[in-house]
Amino acid sequence: MTFTLPTDIHHRPVAVIGAGTLGRRIALMFATRGGRVRIYDPATEAGQAAQAYVAQNAADTAAHIEGGQPGTATATTDLAEALAGAWLVVEAVPERLELKRHIFAELDTAADADAILASNSSSYPTSQFIDDVARPERVLNMHFYMPPRQPAVDLMSSGRTDRAVLDLLLRELPHYGVFPFEAHRESTGFIFNRIWAAIKRESLAVVAEGVSTPQDVDAMWRINTGLTAGPFRAMDHVGLDVVLDIENHYAAENPALPTGPRELLQRYVDAGHLGVKTGRGFYDDYAQQD
């Protein structure tokens, strides 16, 4: 089935569903073309914090994008208000399959008929949670990393996504300072995350087995790669609860994966040490949420 693409997109808002670490960063990137972004979250505090984050960073981020101009972001606890008129809806809720299935069924009913529905899921292909979506041709994965620092984006069809949707996003996303790469077949972990998963998992195993410490692994990583942050610092920024959810998903698909990395993450999660967002993870030098 074909899909009628949204028109007049530069005068219509983008809606972001979820005001967490990635939700607010996604909202920031779409607030760089002088337009409107609406952030939906049932928690008022989370939405307000995301709105403040965009307001604080939009001008500087837009200044680094050709033709960039800071836009505005508003937060709401009313889903219908967030979706009204949006040409693009980006889901950024926790990595829970049933939650995503419920959210997309609701979005398909409540969003404008020509709105593109994208999931920022880091491990689930959209084919797994569109059972109750009447118009699956407008749904796809649009997975962000950690913008604006890491502005690559994976695009992946649900298997039923209209080709024109992918082509539109491949053309338009670079105008917002993000760079899309298409996964040409369904892939758990998409492109870069499949490579990153192997690095992350082996780093966790080295620590779980008592071979080294998070700090030493990161220090060696920095020295040998010339990069500024190692795997453990990066996991702290993502959120250790999110990292654990992703690892559990990989393990469900491949039970042969070692348990040590997940057990190590579970200890931190059980202690409430989730990384930057709680002020402590593998490191404890975070004064506030990044």
Same domain, 272 and 226: yes
Same domain, 88 and 179: yes
Q: Identify the band that residue 253 occupies on the pLDDT scale cut at 50, 70 and 90.
A: confident
Domain enclosing residue 105, as ranges = 9-183
Same domain, 89 and 150: yes
Could you give the angle at the alpha carbon of 253 between the alpha carbons of 252 and 255, nearest 5°? 65
Q: How far apart are CA 257 and CA 232, in angstroms?
A: 19
Position 3 in a domain: no
Given 183, 207, 241, which residue is the final one in a domain? 183
Q: How many CA atoms lie within 13 A of 125 on its CB side?
A: 18
Please check the confidence at residue 272 and state whether its pLDDT lies above 80.
yes
pLDDT at 1: 65
Return the structure tokens found at 85: 């008129």
CA separation, residue 13 to residues 63, 153, 235, 245 (Å)? 20, 20, 31, 31
- pLDDT averaged over every residue in the chain: 95
| pTM: predicted TM-score of the whole model, two decimal places | 0.82
Same domain, 162 and 142: yes
Domain of residue 213, CATH code: 1.10.1040.10
**Number of compact structural domains in the chain:** 2
Strand partners, 195: none
Q: What are phi and psi of 263, to 5 degrees?
A: -65, -40
Position 24 in a domain: yes
Position 290 in a domain: no
Predicted confidence (pLDDT) per residue in 104-154, tens digit = 999 999 999 999 999 999 879 999 999 999 999 999 999 999 999 999 999
Provide the terminal-to-terminal Cα distance of the chain, rounded to the nearest Å: 42
Same domain, 29 and 153: yes
Given 183, 203, 223, which residue is the final one in a domain? 183
> For residue 125, is the peptide bond before it cis, meaning its omega torsion is within 30 degrees of 0?
no
CB 126 within 8 A of CB 107: no
Same domain, 37 and 160: yes
Percentage of the residues of the chain whose pLDDT score is greater than 70: 98
Q: What are phi and psi of 74, to 5 degrees?
A: -125, 150
Given 183, 217, 248, which residue is the final one in a domain? 183
pLDDT at 189: 86
Predicted confidence (pLDDT) per residue in 151-160, tens digit = 999 999 999 9
Q: Compute and round to an integer the Cα radius of gyration of the chain.
A: 19
Nearest alpha carbon to residue 253 among 208, 203, 187: 187
The angle, 0 to 180 degrees and rounded to 10, between the axes of the packed helices 214-225 and 231-238 is 110
Q: How far apart are CA 140 and CA 120, in angstroms?
A: 9
Nearest alpha carbon to residue 87 among 141, 178, 6: 6
Same domain, 24 and 165: yes
Same domain, 250 and 217: yes
Same domain, 95 and 33: yes
CB 21 within 8 A of CB 239: yes
Residue owning tokens 């990069």: 227
Position 161 in a domain: yes
Domain of residue 32, CATH code: 3.40.50.720
Predicted confidence (pLDDT) per residue in 59-79, tens digit = 999 999 999 999 999 999 999
pLDDT at 153: 98
Same domain, 209 and 84: no
Please check the confidence at residue 286 and state whether its pLDDT lies above 80.
yes
Please check the confidence at residue 290 and state whether its pLDDT lies above 90.
no
pLDDT at 289: 43
Predicted confidence (pLDDT) per residue in 174-205, tens digit = 999 999 999 999 998 899 988 999 999 999 99
Same domain, 33 and 147: yes
Predicted confidence (pLDDT) per residue in 79-108, tens digit = 999 999 999 999 999 888 999 999 999 999
